[in-house]
């Protein structure tokens, strides 16, 4: 019991979608005046008033977390995974005291620092050095702590030369490096990390992941980590939970948790709307992704030598309807979220829009992958600007033609089947 | 059995987050632990406001000087409002800097939640650090302006104006504290309400301006007709401004009773503000 550092007990969090108040005094007064005269509230949705007079009905309420309970032991790296809107961010917000739960309680031992974002409170006019102090203090460090770690932070962020330059003149990479460096040198007993690692270049991401591993392994700290990157979750975490619609659907060792999550995803209705992550600046939005075989029938499985087509349909806003050149990409990932390859339209025929719908096909004559399931992601971009990106919105199951190929195969061997030949050489 | 274990264990938790924690869930100790953060917020406000301006901190002086000049011309020269026989410039300057401190505290504090939503939504620290730092950074500005006032005071005194500093000068730190606390208290109340009623953000600036005219800033309380005097006892700022002037200039109609009432209401406003604020800080992220 004593090595439990976080205990979450029956946590519920409710958000009201409708109007808890109307956010303007005049409308509240209007509602109040209507109530005083015994008339219907002009601002409440029709027929939504309960006999007690409360304006909010169960329809307006939305439980972002439902009865979530778990314990985390000292030294654990705890992964929290789930689809968009499953309640991950809400859970982190409650754990980091940004907002209070509606019911239930959370108990901690030790101090806690949360990184829901890097560079919170950075002021563009202040210099790098001043921002290190400001950001550190916001995250809970004392000035003396920061002073002793200043050199380390600066070295980690690789910004020695620009320490006295206002951060508004920093490149975005430098900015992120500095922000993460401050956070990485906090010494909390419990560190809460949201997908901040999705920023910065790959090399720096590796450095951050390494730093987090160090924090837990060498210094015995506890880390809570939310990510969509199953690869990162698998390599970092030892335990975890899957959240789905606000409830814990699986809790346990991380391998089980990730496979349960994948199983859950593959069995659920996959579509662009409930993909695992979506982003982009808008303008063109992907409406459907599907896979067809050589005869044009929709499918989710194929053998490694069969011809396959990846299809995309998108809705184009007015702005992009006039023959604009766009770039379409399809990504194929392993179930662990590792990117295997990407098909980008820049290598083929130029794609231009024309009208409010865009349909694009990408044909693969063969797909030499090992027997497994794979995620398909897709994106549409315009001059380096990603307009829409949907991650893991469809899956594909590959059965290798050559049965001998799967013999002796393990996940660590990789997924791509390159043709090769073995023979015994003359000695 | 399970509950026994929990009870035995309850004492060793460092922090417990519960759904509702009552009206008086206030932790002054926590505020003290984050004192470095308060200091850094003050530093940030000070540095960032004047970066990339040519005159820099001189703006601390230019603003009240210009306001005082405008008041002197409009209310003194054009409207001929009485100033209790004091040099009009000094009379208005004393009112302006004292009022400005209170008003700045109130207006800046009232923006705490809305203006810092992006930070508050990402990381926890005691939210009161922000308004407290606002009070302190405004105090620095007030200090500079007060020196300006002292300079003019000495100038007018040496040129023979009838100024009568009173022993009440010893109360000065207390008066400044009262202005700060009043501004903080009202600001906390307004900031808590703005999380629900955004209209208030527009109303605050206007309301404070109206309030200034209901306070003896541009006129002495003695010039009010008798039947309006009662208004002054409902306005906690009125005795503060009057006392401030009385202490330095020796004029004004301040009585102990109205000042004590003002002190009591100041304390009430502060308590109400802190209670409302600490209640709001737990859930405001859901409504902003």
Q: Looking at the domain covering A277-405, what would its CATH class be?
A: mainly beta
Helix (H) or strand (E) holding A310: strand A308-316
d(CA A114, CA B261): 45
Q: Cα A332 to chain center, whole Å?
A: 17
d(CA B223, CA B245): 15
Residue A154: how many CB atoms within 10 A of its CB? Answer: 19
Instruction: Please report the number of interchain residue pairs, chain A to chain B, with beta-carbon separation below 8 angstroms.
Output: 123
* The predicted structure's pLDDT at residue B253: 66
B83-108 confidence digits (pLDDT tens): 877 888 888 999 999 999 999 999 99
Q: Which residues of A touch B42 (CB under 8 A)?
A: none
Which residues 187-246 in chain B show a CB within 8 A of chain A? 196-200
What is the domain partition of chain A in residue ranges?
65-267, 277-405
B255: confidence class by pLDDT, cuts 50, 70, 90: confident
* pLDDT mean over A291-306: 88
B76: confidence class by pLDDT, cuts 50, 70, 90: confident
3-state secondary structure of A175: helix
Which pair of structure tokens corresponds to residue B239?
Answer: 């005795």
Helix (H) or strand (E) holding A4: strand A4-16
Alpha carbon of B238: minimum distance to chain A alpha carbons (Å)? 28
* The predicted structure's pLDDT at residue A42: 58
Whose structure tokens read 């953000």? B201
Beta bridge partners of A359: A313
DSSP H helices in A84-142? 88-95, 128-138
d(CA A278, CA A85): 11
Across the interface, of B9, B122, B286, the residue whose CB is closest to A120 is: B122
Is the pLDDT confidence value at B2 over 50? no
Query: What are the Cα distances from residue A169, in Å, to A120, A124, A126, A130, A174?
Result: 17, 8, 10, 14, 10
Q: Which CATH number fits domain A65-267: 3.40.50.720, 3.30.1490.100, 3.40.50.300, 3.40.605.10?
A: 3.40.50.300
Q: Contact, B258 vs B216, CB < 8 A?
A: no
Residue A51: how many CB atoms within 10 A of its CB? Answer: 5
Which residues 185-224 in chain A show a CB within 8 A of chain B? none
Name the E strands within A58-188. Answer: 61-73, 77-82, 103-108, 112-115
d(CA A192, CA B14): 17
d(CA B156, CA B248): 12
**A273 touching B, CB under 8 A?**
no
Q: Contact, A80 vs A65, CB < 8 A?
A: no
Which pair of structure tokens corresponds to residue B165?
Answer: 């500093």
Share of chain A above pLDDT 90, in %: 15
Q: Cα B41 to chain center, whole Å?
A: 17
Give B79's DSSP letter: T
Across the interface, of A20, A26, A137, the residue whose CB is closest to B40 is: A137
Whose structure tokens read 């980008």? A344
Which residues 121-150 in chain A show a CB within 8 A of chain B? 121, 123, 125-126, 130, 133-134, 137-143
d(CA A339, CA B156): 79
* The predicted structure's pLDDT at residue B51: 75
Which among A415, A393, A397 is positioned nearest to A406, based on CA atoms?
A415
Is the pLDDT confidence value at B273 over 90? yes
The reported pTM is: 0.76
Whose structure tokens read 């309640």? A87
| Residue A198: partners with Cβ closer than 8 Å, 6 or more residues away | A229
* pLDDT mean over A47-74: 65
* The predicted structure's pLDDT at residue B199: 78
How high is the ipTM of this complex?
A: 0.82
A375-412 confidence digits (pLDDT tens): 899 999 888 888 888 888 888 988 877 767 667 777 77
A226-284 confidence digits (pLDDT tens): 887 777 788 888 899 998 888 898 899 988 888 888 888 777 777 777 777 787 888 89
Alpha carbon of B193: minimum distance to chain A alpha carbons (Å)? 10
Whose structure tokens read 């009070």? B135
């Amino acid at each position: 019991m004593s090595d439990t550092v976080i205990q979450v007990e029956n946590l519920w969090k409710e958000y009201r979608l409708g109007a808890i108040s109307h956010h303007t005094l005049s409308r509240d007064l209007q509602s109040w005046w209507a109530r005083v005269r015994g008339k219907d509230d002009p601002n409440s949705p029709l027929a939504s008033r309960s006999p007690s007079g409360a304006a909010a009905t169960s329809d307006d309420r939305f439980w972002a977390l439902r009865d979530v309970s778990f314990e985390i032991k000292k030294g654990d790296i705890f992964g929290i995974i789930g689809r968009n809107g499953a309640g991950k961010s809400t859970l982190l917000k409650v754990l980091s005291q940004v907002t209070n739960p509606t019911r239930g309680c959370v108990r901690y031992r030790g101090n806690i620092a949360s990184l829901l974002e890097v560079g919170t409170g950075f002021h563009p006019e202040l210099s790098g050095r001043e921002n290190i102090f400001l950001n550190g203090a916001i995250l809970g460090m004392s000035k003396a702590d920061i002073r002793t770690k200043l050199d380390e932070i600066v070295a980690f962020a690789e910004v020695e030369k620009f320490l006295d330059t206002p951060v508004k003149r920093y490149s975005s990479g430098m900015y992120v490096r500095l922000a993460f460096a401050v956070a990485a040198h906090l010494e909390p007993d419990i560190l809460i990390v949201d997908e901040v690692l999705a920023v910065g270049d790959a090399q720096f991401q590796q450095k951050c992941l390494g730093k987090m591993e160090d924090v837990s392994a060498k210094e015995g700290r506890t880390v809570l980590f939310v990510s969509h990157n199953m690869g990162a979750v698998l390599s970092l975490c030892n335990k975890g939970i899957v959240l789905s619609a606000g409830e814990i659907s699986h809790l346990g060792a991380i391998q089980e948790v990730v496979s349960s999550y994948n199983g859950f995803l593959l069995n659920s209705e996959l579509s662009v709307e409930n993909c695992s992550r979506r982003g982009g600046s808008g303008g063109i939005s992907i409406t459907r992704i599907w896979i067809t075989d050589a005869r044009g029938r929709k499918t989710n499985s194929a053998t490694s030598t069969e011809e396959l087509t990846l299809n995309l349909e998108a809705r184009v806003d007015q702005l992009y309807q006039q023959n604009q050149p766009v770039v379409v990409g399809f990504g194929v990932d392993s179930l662990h979220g590792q990117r295997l390859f990407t098909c980008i339209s820049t290598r083929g025929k130029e794609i231009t829009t024309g009208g409010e719908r865009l349909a694009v096909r990408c044909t693969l004559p063969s797909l030499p992958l090992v027997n497994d399931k794979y995620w398909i992601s897709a994106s549409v971009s315009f001059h380096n600007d990603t307009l829409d990106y949907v991650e893991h919105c469809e899956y594909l199951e590959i059965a290798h033609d050559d049965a001998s190929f799967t013999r002796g195969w393990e996940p660590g061997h990789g997924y791509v089947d390159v043709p090769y030949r073995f023979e015994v050489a003359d000695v | 059995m399970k509950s026994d274990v929990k009870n035995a264990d309850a004492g060793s938790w460092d922090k417990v987050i519960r759904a509702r924690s009552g009206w008086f869930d206030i932790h002054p100790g926590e505020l003290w632990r984050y004192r470095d953060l308060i200091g850094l917020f003050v530093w940030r406000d000070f540095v960032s406001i004047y970066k990339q301006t040519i005159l820099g901190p001189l703006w601390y002086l230019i603003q009240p000087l210009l306001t005082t000049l405008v008041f002197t011309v409009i209310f003194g020269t054009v409207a001929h409002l009485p100033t209790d026989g004091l040099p009009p410039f000094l009379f208005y300057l004393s009112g302006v800097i004292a009022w400005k401190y209170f008003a700045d505290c109130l207006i800046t504090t009232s923006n705490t939640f809305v203006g810092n939503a992006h930070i508050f939504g990402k990381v926890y620290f005691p939210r009161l650090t922000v308004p407290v730092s606002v009070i302190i950074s405004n105090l620095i500005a007030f200090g500079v302006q007060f020196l300006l006032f002292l300079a003019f005071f000495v100038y007018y005194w040496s040129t023979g104006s009838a100024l009568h500093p009173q022993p009440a000068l010893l109360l000065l730190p207390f008066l400044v504290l009262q202005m700060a606390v009043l501004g903080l208290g009202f600001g906390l109340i307004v900031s808590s309400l703005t999380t629900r009623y955004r209209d208030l953000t527009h109303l605050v600036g206007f309301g404070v301006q109206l309030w200034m005219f209901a306070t003896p800033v541009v006129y002495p309380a003695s010039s009010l007709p008798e039947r309006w005097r009662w208004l002054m006892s409902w306005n906690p700022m009125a005795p503060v401004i009057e006392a401030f002037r009385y202490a330095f200039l020796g004029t004004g109609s301040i009585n102990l009773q109205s000042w004590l009432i003002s002190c009591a209401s100041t304390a009430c406003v502060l308590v109400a503000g802190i209670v409302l604020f600490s209640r709001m800080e737990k859930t405001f992220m859901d409504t902003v």
